[in-house]
Amino acid sequence: MRRAIAEAAVGDDVFGDDPTIHLLEQRVAELLGKESAIYMPSGTMTNQIGVRVHCGRGDEFLCEEYCHIFQNEQTAFAQLSGVSARTVASDDGILRREHLEDKLRPEADHVARTRLLCLENTHNRASGRVLPLDVVEDVCGWAHENGMATHLDGARLWNAVAATDIPAARWCQSFDTVSVCFSKGLGAPVGSALAGSRDQIREARRHRKAFGGGMRQAGMMAAGVLYALDHNRDRLVEDHQNAKQIAEVISATDGVDLASNQIDTNLVIFTVDPKIGTAQGLKDRLHAEGVLVTLSGPQRLRAVTHLDVSFTQVAKAMDLLVDVVGAMCS
């Protein structure tokens, strides 16, 4: 990947003449089954511009209450675009038609216009859950029937593809716009892309400029992404296997427990029994042993497997976790 970056042909992407960016955007559009795509610095930017393409000031979109767009992007849709979110509760991160049917506002001068449905696949805070394809198609069909657009936060869509063998284009078929990330499981250093129709991506390019996302010789970064797309997608199943190894150890260890017994991909969220302490306390002790996890709540931690973590390293990390939790229990 570093060699590809060093040898990349570059131009000025703000003026639309970086050849490696062109190759990447064409490749992403083809993989996702869309007419066009645009490369951006981050998934937050692709999500926020996706919302802005579909919603005007004072409009509203529907999303699951723990989705990334609402929970982890500073409500940037409100700050930057004057858009409101209406969050919808679910038991497992999966929005179904029955969750949504009473959330569509009537056409009236007193209420916001509901313009967009946003889904996240895989769902980060639902332990990397893969949304069932039939449910995705059903709720997106409902949205379109009611005059709404649809946007997919597919930051980890590549994991959903690897877990199900369903092609990315099939997952994206029901969505007007799709955001995908390259710097997570694929291991590229920088970037995400937004895909959609030619008109939508032309509009997104204007918004990218306003958001400060226009880049010059960005072909260097795009070359790393192209390498990742060619070499790192199929191996995502190894991350999923490693995550299941983590889940098996946690489920067998007193003092910690899985937030969800269904581990579809590379995320494992687990809870810490208050009797042994807090998530922060366990995190600090694990970090001291070189095991890096992140907070997901006062009593919840998240472990993420990726291409830089081997099966052997996961086994060692789990031995350390068992030792640390055992010491906290005693």
Question: What single-letter amino acid sits at 242?
Answer: N
Please give the average per-residue pLDDT across 315-330, as a whole number.
Answer: 95
The pLDDT tens digits for 241-276 are: 999 999 999 999 999 999 999 999 999 999 999 999
Per-residue pLDDT tens over the stretch 159-195: 999 999 999 999 999 999 999 999 999 999 999 999 9
Q: What whole-number distance in Å separates Cα of residue 241 and Cα of residue 305?
A: 9
User: The whole model's pTM is what?
Assistant: 0.96
Q: Which two tokens stand for residue 39?
A: 């490369």
What pLDDT shows up at residue 107? 87
The angle that helices 19-32 and 219-231 make with each other, rounded to 10 degrees, is 40
Query: What domains sit in the chain, N to C, each tagged with a CATH number?
Result: 2-231 (3.40.640.10), 236-329 (3.90.1150.10)
Quick one: tokens of 32?
């996702």
For residues 129 and 264, the answer to whether their CB atoms sit within 8 Å is yes
Which DSSP symbol is given to 265? S
pLDDT in tens, 89-127: 998 999 999 999 999 998 889 999 999 999 999 999 999
Radius of gyration for the alpha carbons in the chain, expressed in angstroms and rounded: 21
User: What distance in Å separates the CA atoms of residue 282 and residue 55, rounded to the nearest whole number?
Assistant: 42
CA-closest candidate to residue 306, choices 250, 261, 242: 242
Backbone angles phi, psi at 296, to 5 degrees: -125, 10
Record the tokens describing residue 99, joined without a space: 């969750």
Name, in order, each residue with C-beta under 8 angstroms of 253's C-beta and a sequence gap of 6 or more.
Answer: 321, 322, 325
What is the pLDDT confidence band of residue 330, given thresholds at 50, 70 and 90?
A: confident
- Determine if residue 93 is left, alpha or beta; phi over 0 gives left, psi from -120 to 50 gives alpha, anything else beta: left
Q: What angle do CA 272, 278, 284 make, to 5 degrees?
A: 105
Pairing of strands 177-181, 192-196: antiparallel
Terminal-residue alpha carbon distance, the chain: 47
Q: Are 4 and 226 in contact (CB under 8 A)?
A: yes
What is the pLDDT confidence band of residue 213, given thresholds at 50, 70 and 90? very high
* Mean pLDDT of the residues in the chain: 96
